[in-house]
Structures are given as C-alpha cells and as structure tokens.
C-alpha cells in the first residue's frame, strides 16, 4: 500500500504524468471520424451514459470513461489531482491510449461539464463542440463582497458543511439511488469511495474557473439545465450567453438528474450541428 502510494506520488504528482482511467464503453470503428467523449458527474460512473449510446450518430465513434476517484478508475489521495483541469488531462491520455484519432465532441454532466470545459480550453484544436448538462458553474470566490451572487456563496457553504458529515452524505446518496432520484446513475458512493467524492467536490467544484473559461470559449457550446435543479445558478448561464455568442442556453422543466427529456434534448443538440 505504502509502496503504491510512493509510486503514485513520484509518477503522477512529481513527474505530472496523467492517470490512465477505466474505459467504460468505446466504439472506435471509423478512424478519424468524430468521437463523442462522454463525461459523468460527481459520485457517478460512465454507466450514466449507456442509454445515450445507441442514439449517437451511426458513423461516429465514442469513448466513455470513469473519472479519477470514481467507478473502476484509480482513487489516489492527492486532492490537487482531482481538479477539473487535471481530470481533463487524465481523460485525454486515456482516450488517446484507447485509439482516439478524430475530432471530438464533448458531452459532460454536472462536474463532468466542468471537466469538458477544461478539456475544450486545453485541447481546443481537436474539440468541435461541447454540450454541458446541469453544470454547477459558480462565480469566483476571489470577487469582492459586492460582486457576490448570494446563491453561489450559499451553495459553496453548503458543500463545505456537507463534507463534515460523510456518513450522512453516503446514506443520502444511497436513498436517492434507491428512489431513482439520481436518474440513470450507477452511483458507487460509499465510505470506501468518499475520499474521491470529497477531493472532487473540494478541488473540482468548490474551487473552479469554469465561468472565466466559458466567457472566451470559441466553439459551439450548449448549456442544458433544469429549472428545478437546486444545485445550479441559472443567472450565471444567461450572463455567459450575453457576453459570448458561441454559448446557447436551453432550459428544461427538469431537475439535476439525466432523464428521458434530457436525453432527447442532448440528441437534438448534436443532430442540429
């Protein structure tokens, strides 16, 4: 255990070599064809996207991974490796190793949408389009008190308090999964996987730069969100669309989870391009 910890520290933290993630699904039949890279959210796995795969264009490729700290992917303890920008590096490395060769369309849900935005920023030469579903985009904490949107600050405070009660969080997710409140989720949050959940929430969601990046995005970007979603700040989406014509906002009468209505909207977006 200790030996693996030191190996991880040397290879991934000191040498900054990305992790190889678990590939949940892939179809790479056509070299250089458009490849859909599907990225799940916090406390979920790539299995979230299984209902969408059959609806992707027949001539396209796709790759679905489990993010670091989730599903069958590694679960290191270094919080900094869970930043959205670091997750984007892990995703690209895994996709290239799996055989990625063509242009990319990114589809991300929740935290996966933040990873998709980082990916688009870092590897803009290969990304043709991104679809961000239920993205928890919050304004920077570095802003002056006068600039705060109260909902952004409140949500961050709630997340910090939630992390103080891991047993309650795990029980809540388990109940939500049983009731179907998490949508097409194969959530695997437990006491054993809580560290990955905590590191992702702290480094990837509480601390983020997604709004700043989207202000300058130059590829077609669609934000799909539910008006009934308590984890989102819709005003942030409309503000981004006002300053960047590449961004389109499509509200639905849904919540945070991906359900049939959301899937139909995703398909409509990718078919319109």
In a domain? residue 180? yes
State residue 3's pLDDT score: 44
Q: Structure pTM?
A: 0.92
Q: Look at residue 8 and tell me if it is in a domain.
A: no
Does 63 map to a domain? yes
Mean pLDDT across 218-224: 98
For the chain, count helices (H), then strands (E).
Answer: 10, 7
Strand partners, 224: 133, 250
How many domains are contained in the chain?
1
- Which residues form the domain of 217? 19-271
3 within a domain of the structure (yes/no):
no
Cβ atoms within 10 Å of 136's Cβ, excluding its own: 26
Residue 18 pLDDT? 92
* Domain-embedded: residue 4: no
CA distances to 79, 119, 189, 252 from 204, in Å: 9, 13, 17, 25
Confidence at residue 189, expressed as pLDDT on a 0 to 100 scale: 79
For residue range 143-166, what is the model confidence (pLDDT) as tens digits? Answer: 545 544 588 999 999 999 989 999
Are residues 266 and 131 in contact, defined by beta-carbon separation less than 8 angstroms? yes
The predicted pLDDT at position 9 comes to: 66
Q: CB-side exposure of 177: number of CA atoms within 13 Å?
A: 16
**pLDDT score at 143:** 52
The CATH code of the domain that includes 169 is 3.40.50.1820
Quick one: which of 20, 23, 272, 268 has its CA closest to 133? Answer: 268
What pLDDT is attached to residue 193?
84
Question: Is residue 12 one of the residues assigned to a domain?
Answer: no
Residue 254 lies in a domain: yes
Q: What is the pLDDT averaged over residues 60-67?
A: 97
Position with higher pLDDT, 75 vs 192:
75
Average pLDDT over residues 1-10: 57
Give the pLDDT of residue 141: 60
Q: Which residue has the higher pLDDT, 271 or 182?
A: 271
pLDDT band for position 93 (cuts 50, 70, 90): very high
What DSSP string runs through 72-94?
A: TS---S-GGGGSHHHHHHHHHHH
* Residue 6 located in a structural domain: no
Q: 168-208, pLDDT tens digit by residue?
A: 888 887 776 666 655 545 566 788 889 999 999 999 999 99
Mean pLDDT of the chain: 89
pLDDT band per the 50, 70, 90 thresholds, residue 140: confident
């Amino acid at each position: 255990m200790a030996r693996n910890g030191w190996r991880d520290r040397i290879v991934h933290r000191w040498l900054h070599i990305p992790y190889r993630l678990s590939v949940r699904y892939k179809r790479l039949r056509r070299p250089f064809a458009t490849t859909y890279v599907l990225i799940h959210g916090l406390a979920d796995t790539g299995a979230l996207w299984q209902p969408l795969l059959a609806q992707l264009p027949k001539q396209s490729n796709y790759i679905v991974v489990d993010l670091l700290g989730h599903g069958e992917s590694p679960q290191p303890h270094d919080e900094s490796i869970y930043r959205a920008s670091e997750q984007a590096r892990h995703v690209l490395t895994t996709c290239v190793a799996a055989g990625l060769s063509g242009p990319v369309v990114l589809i991300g849900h929740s935290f996966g949408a933040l990873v998709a935005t980082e990916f688009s920023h870092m590897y803009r030469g290969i990304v043709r389009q991104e679809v961000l579903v239920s993205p928890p985009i919050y304004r920077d904490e570095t802003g002056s008190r006068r600039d705060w949107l109260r909902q952004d600050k409140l949500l961050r405070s709630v997340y910090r308090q939630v992390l103080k009660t891991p047993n309650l969080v795990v029980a809540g997710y388990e109940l939500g999964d049983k009731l179907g409140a998490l949508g097409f989720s194969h959530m695997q949050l437990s006491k054993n996987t809580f560290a990955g959940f905590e590191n992702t929430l702290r480094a990837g969601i509480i601390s983020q730069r997604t709004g700043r990046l989207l202000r300058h995005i130059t590829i077609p970007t669609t934000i799909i969100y539910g008006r009934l979603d308590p984890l989102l700040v819709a005003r942030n989406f409309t503000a981004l669309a006002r300053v960047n014509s590449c961004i389109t906002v499509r509200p639905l009468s849904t919540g945070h989870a991906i359900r049939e209505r959301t899937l139909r909207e995703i398909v409509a977006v990718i078919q319109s391009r």
